[in-house]
Amino acid sequence: MIVKMNKYTLVLYHKAQEEFLSRLQELGVVDITTGGWEPNEREREVLGEIEAHKAAGEEFSALKKNPLYAGGQPFASGEEAYENYKRASSRIESLTAQIAKAEKEAEELSMWGDFCPETVARLEQEGILLHFYSCYSNEYAQGVKEWSENYTVEPITEHNGTTYFVAVSRKGEPMPQIDAQIVRTPILNAEGKRKEIAALEAELAEWNGVMARCVASEELIADHANGLKDELQFSQVSRSGEGEADGKLIVLQGWAPEANAAEVDAMLDGEGDVLYVKEKPTMEDDTPVKLKNGWFAKPFEFIGDFYAVPKYGTMDLTKYFAPFYMLFFGFCIGDAGYGATFFLIGLFMYLKKMKGMGLISQLVMWLGAASVLFGLCVGNVYGVSLRELGVPEWYHNALQTINDQLFYIALGCGIVQIIFALILNVINTTIAYGFKYSFGTLGWLIILVDCLLAFLLPMVGVESFSFSSPVCLGILGVGAVLMLLLNNPNRNPLVNFGSGLWDTYNNLTGLLGDVLSYVRLFAISLSGGALAVVFNDLAGSLAPDTPGLRQLVMFLILAFGHGINIFMSAIGAFVHPMRLTFIEFYKNAGFEAATRVYTPFKKLKTNK
């Protein structure tokens, strides 16, 4: 359901604004309208800092997954921890790059052996120059004889098909003419570079220790981010008021749940510099929406949030689409074993109290339970048909009938959901705008149900109600009048008639497409079941006959195959019922989306 709201118009003296907003933020239940807000320089800086805090949290999560991670002593405050995190993160990144570069250089220097750079420099001072080269070993073998005729050439080492060598000349002589890659004269040997690497790694270890302390301060840093969010929200709200009386008065618009009216009114009554008007929102107001559902429907808000929350003053459809979503999910899975797997996964998450997964774990359990029930209705357990296991005859016959009619059951589910959506549309329109504005939808609903009964009742022996019976024709007439002539009480009946004819065409073509969309349930269920059977057959045919080994190979094939099938089935079972909900059901139920969600102006920071 949608929580009822009160609309508050607040008028306050401009000098009292900051103190009043601070108290309002402490109260934490009023949503202040902040339309047209553009961040200033400080607010953009705060936004950047908030994103940086978010990135820090993601980095901490990755670090904690590292089996080599060791915790540290947390810092005294979130601000101190965050400042140290910025320095540590930057320095660790720089040192890691330096170490990687130094290791590459050390590998290159190792090709020249354990020489003394000081000796090379002293020889240069005495007029003896060493020139360093490298080339492919076959090229060295071909050219060394010619080079040695003019210069002193000495090979140092050969590595991976490359020869590293030195040519000697005197100062003032031309550069040796050797067709090889010239290497810059090293100023360190490999041992010196390794000492440099050791020093860098020691510094890196110190900064990793600082980072470990930052990880241990994760909650403090998150709370520091909340403080920045509080600052940003306060700044946003304080600059959103409209100035009146040459800026002396500030006008704000706020919203609060009716359940909090007493505490909001008490606070406002105690503010001497504030005048306020409390009233009920209208359909024209941009009222923020807060949902409140019971134990069953609450987890399904996660599904609805993928689309939008309903407009204030209309109907919350969560508890109405939830049973259908469960049914469609079970239809797509079509296997009791797979459903039990989902249920156990959800139960595990629920019992482990995984952070932020409470409602999702409950949702997974509901969907798993629905899949178990539907799987038992069609007789599939991990790809094994219960009809082949000697079940009672009545159950065997029921399974046979259900499987034979599965295509029509999918279509029937669609028709039932669409009719239910139209009923909700009539109720929703009546609540929001008045009963007379629902006549067009009501007329179409009457015609649809009337035609459906005229088609089905003769099939079960009720011959008195058919398309030619007076009662059926009379009901069709009532529906036609409502749909064609009274679809909009604010227009001329002739205009309504033309509009009604166009709506009739759209409804007929739209209904056909909507109903056929539900065929996807049958197709997905069939494909998942077929793959389960295939993996079972593969396990039986590919496993060797050796006792023990046969069972092991079968287990591996079944675990791998059914694991893939469960994953793929879960994706289809999650997405396709969502599509049926948001397109077919929401459309026919007359769903209207809200433009904003209830976000109270309150303090997020808890650490003082």
> What residues form DSSP beta bridges with 128?
170
What's residue 322's pLDDT? 92
What's residue 432's pLDDT? 77
* 38, pLDDT greater than 80: no
Residue 131 amino acid letter = H
Report how far apart, in Å, the C-alpha atoms of 316 and of each of 29, 211, 302, 324, 483 are: 22, 47, 13, 15, 25
* 66, pLDDT greater than 80: no
What is the mean predicted confidence (pLDDT) over 139-160? 86
What's residue 368's pLDDT? 92
C-alpha–C-alpha distance, residues 521 and 519, integer Å:
5
Report how far apart, in Å, the C-alpha atoms of 193 and of each of 87, 103, 158 are: 26, 8, 21
Nearest one of 337, 512, 338, 561 to 414, comparing CA atoms: 512
> What residues form DSSP beta bridges with 488?
none
What's residue 14's pLDDT? 67
What's residue 242's pLDDT? 64
Q: What is the mean pLDDT of the chain?
A: 83
What's residue 74's pLDDT? 87
Report the interhelical angle of 406-432 vs 519-542 (nearest 10°).
140
Give the pLDDT confidence of 183-195 residue by residue, as tens digits.
888 777 778 888 8
What is the mean predicted confidence (pLDDT) over 27-38? 78
What is the mean predicted confidence (pLDDT) over 438-457? 81
C-alpha–C-alpha distance, residues 255 and 453, integer Å:
47
Cα 257 off chain centre by: 28
How many angstroms separate the first and last alpha carbons of the chain?
36
What's residue 244's pLDDT? 58
Characterise 261 by phi-psi region: left (phi > 0), alpha (psi -120 to 50), beta (else).
alpha
* 577, pLDDT greater than 60: yes
What is the mean predicted confidence (pLDDT) over 277-282? 86
What's residue 443's pLDDT? 80
* 370, pLDDT greater than 70: yes
Question: 216-220 contacts: CB < 8 A, separation 24 or more?
Answer: 216/71, 216/72, 216/73, 216/74, 217/74, 217/75, 217/78, 217/81, 218/57, 218/60, 220/74, 220/75, 220/77, 220/78, 220/81, 220/607
C-alpha count within 13 angstroms, C-beta hemisphere, residue 269 = 7
Q: Report whether 326 contacts 342 (CB < 8 A).
A: no
CATH 3.30.110 positions along the chain are: 116-185
CATH 3.30.70 positions along the chain are: 1-35+253-288
What is the mean predicted confidence (pLDDT) over 539-558? 81
Q: In sequence order, which ranges of 518-584 are alpha helices (DSSP H)?
A: 519-542, 549-579
Residue whose token pair is 């016959």: 397
Q: Report whether 447 contacts 483 (CB < 8 A).
A: yes
Residue 363 amino acid letter = L
* 608, pLDDT greater than 60: no
**Residue 139 is encoded by which pair of tokens?**
């090229």
Residue 277 amino acid letter = V
pLDDT-wise least confident of 49-58, 354-363, 490-499, 573-582: 490-499
Q: Report whether 331 contacts 354 (CB < 8 A).
A: no
1-35+253-288: CATH architecture: 2-Layer Sandwich (3.30)
C-alpha–C-alpha distance, residues 590 and 315, integer Å:
10
Percent of the chain with pLDDT over 70: 96
Query: Quick one: pLDDT band at residue 241, thresholds 50, 70, 90?
Result: low
What is the mean predicted confidence (pLDDT) over 277-292? 86
* CATH code that applies to domain 116-185: 3.30.110
Q: Report whether 66 contacts 59 (CB < 8 A).
A: no
The DSSP code for 135 is E
What is the mean predicted confidence (pLDDT) over 502-525? 79
Nearest one of 94, 97, 48, 91 to 214, comparing CA atoms: 91
Give the pLDDT confidence of 178-235 residue by residue, as tens digits.
888 888 887 777 788 888 889 988 988 888 888 888 888 888 888 888 888 888 888 7
**Residue 474 is encoded by which pair of tokens?**
């009379």
pLDDT-wise least confident of 72-81, 338-347, 367-376, 508-517: 508-517
